[in-house]
A and B are shown apart, each in its own frame.
Chain A
Amino acid sequence: MDYVRIERNTKIKKGISGTIRFIILGLWALIVLFPFYWMILTSIKSYGSYNSEYIPKLYVTSPTFENYVDAFSAVPLGRYFLNTAIFTIVTTAIMLVVITLAAYAFARLEFKGRGFVFVIFLSLMMIPTELVVITNFVTITNWNMRNSFPGLILPSITSVFYIYLLKENFEQVPDTLYYAAKVDGTSDFKYLLKVLIPISKPTLITVTILKVIECWNSYVWPRLITDDQAYFLVSNGIQEIRENGFGRENIPAMMAAVVVISAPLIVIFLIFRKQIMAGVLRGGTKG
């Protein structure tokens, strides 16, 4: 065997393949990042300079924040923002209470029919939202809850999947802790509050983050149930801006609105990067 030749070839091969890897990965990173770059870039171009660029420039010489002012003044972006925040916080908060109670009942409390109810819950996990949204639309309309927060919130405050996730988590807490608490005279509710919830904090955080992402980006249901701009969420708002705009085709202002809408989740993501990615890994699919 020609050891010297083998040695040299291996070194060259290693160097080349390493470089190619980085080039391809960098290319994909570029594809992912470019739309973000583009929206920020466009949002700080002035209306005039954007429209005069037949060949769009990849940089901006005189940045302006006028578009952000426009985004908040010409359209009720602040309103959309506030609505979405209210919707997200209230929905997530109520959901956490509902699913925690249900998961606790399934995991810890003993009662007749528990197994049966649980099987029904599990089978509901397979039902696509598209199938039930029609009747929910009719129900909410009949209850005169269109264009109202209850109408937006009510149908999305239970999630069978999260109940399941949390129940699994509760069940991992050893029985002995429960019996010890019982011997000490701790009530079931107190046990849930003081023992289970603190222990299951990571899962609860995961569920919270996933639900917040879902709420912040929800589009279909709010679109069905609101036609009054006063109750639009950001997704509907952006669609409204797209269709009717700022009175004219003002793309820089549109991009400013897009930046404002995208920013909160991206900031949350950058802070809770590890938890979010671990949560999505455990929690399955989007939507």
Chain B
Amino acid sequence: MEVVLEHLTKVFPSRDKKNPADVYAVNDFDFTIPDGKLIGLLGPSGCGKSTTLNLICGLLQPTQGRILFGENDVTNLPPEARGVGLVFQNYALYPHLTVRQNIMFPLQNLRGEEKLTKEVMNAKAEEAAKLVQIDMLMDRKPKELSGGQQQRVAIARALVKRPQVLLLDEPLSNLDARLRLQTREEIKRIQTETGITTIFVTHDQEEAMSISDLIVVMKDGILQQIGRPQEVYDEPVNMFVAKFLGTPQINMFDGRVSGGMLYLGETPVMKTTAPDKEVHVGIRPEGFVLAGVDAPSTGTAGAVATADDGTKPLECALKAVEVSGRDVSIVSTNPASQGVNIRSIMGSDRNLNIAGETVSFRLKPHKVYLFDKETEDRIYEQ
């Protein structure tokens, strides 16, 4: 089922007496979630992503705008008439009911023509339980299950009515790191198997990147960017998105464009077609190429060469080298850097032996982003 949000807005009256302005939890959302995809709603806490989820499932009424499931306008429908399944962050499993009773609960709500016999309900519950692989735990109480198992029961309960849209609110945040990895693959598998349009909310960018077909980045109730995870990572539309996605975080510098050349401090590091002005510069950790290391014994910086295009490598003071086996992080500092440290990652296939006082880097142009000083929007190459 395709889900269309049209100019969706949710305003909460202010609870803060000092600041009586209304809170725009969701501000003019306008996008379409294609059928059968897994969508990650991503943003820092308080950005309105849970509100969006609650609007979609009908627990909240929008202040403005419409929600369509396919052709149907469901904006004013109560949740039960929308055909959605919802999984809560804390699972919300009824503690006094067994796993089986929990999964059957939504089916028992059906009445009239839709009413099912006990056998059918049982069969459907079994089927849902099999899908999430908890069919051997059917007669336990929720408190006898591990966090991961509870999560699966919650998903089974949400799936048992074959919803048109499955909504997951921070589904992994109550799990430990190892289970989180396992469960997110599980969610992906279940989604692929059932083909149900699935929307999940998370504040963890890695989680969203790893399993989503599309990610939706939000901040302060405002949609920032939608796209495939790699696309959003590679082409962030503004500084917030660039900083929010990627671990380690992107390195930010104060830069200046002058005469087709990007300067960090006084170093011309990259040719650019952007217009002349002061800019924020974001460089992904993997966007650095090691150009040289000066050992303290040699002590001369004269070896820094100017390339054919007039750029020079960026010289940074070396602070530390962290080896993780898979790759090597170089931690260094530079006066132009906005953060305390610059973190750059090199593949460790070459046997790097780095020791010295300064390191110098050349930059991979497609890993360098320029942002406007005022609007923090991306400045594209012209």
Contacts and interface: CB of A to CB of B under 8 A. Distances in A.
Contacts of B74: 3
10 contacts: A3-B72, A3-B74, A3-B77, A3-B81, A6-B78, A6-B81, A7-B76, A10-B76, A10-B77, A10-B81
Contacts, number: 17
B91 to A, nearest CB: 27
Interface string B67-106: 0000011101110010000000000000000000000000
Nearest to A6: B81
A3 B71 CA distance: 11
A7 B67 CA distance: 14
Interface string B39-80: 000000000000000000000000000000000111011100
A53 B361 CA distance: 101
Interface residues of A, number: 6
A10 B72 CA distance: 17
Nearest to A14: B78
Interface string A8-27: 00110000000000000000
A3 B78 contact: no
Contacts of B76: 7, 10-11
A1 interface: yes
B161 to A, nearest CB: 14
Contacts of B81: 1, 3, 6, 10
A9 B259 CA distance: 67
Nearest to B81: A6
Contacts of A10: 76-78, 81
A209 B298 CA distance: 81
A11 to B, nearest CB: 8
Contacts of B77: 3, 6-7, 10
Nearest to B69: A3
A221 to B, nearest CB: 44
B137 to A, nearest CB: 34
Interface string B258-270: 0000000000000
B268 to A, nearest CB: 59
Q: Which of B72, B73, B78 has the most CB of A within 10 A?
A: B78
Nearest to B83: A1
Interface string B235-256: 0000000000000000000000
Given A1-B81, A3-B77, A11-B76, 14 more contacts: A1-B72, A3-B72, A3-B73, A3-B74, A3-B81, A6-B77, A6-B78, A6-B81, A7-B76, A7-B77, A10-B76, A10-B77, A10-B78, A10-B81
Contacts of A6: 77-78, 81
A3 B76 CA distance: 9
A3 to B, nearest CB: 6
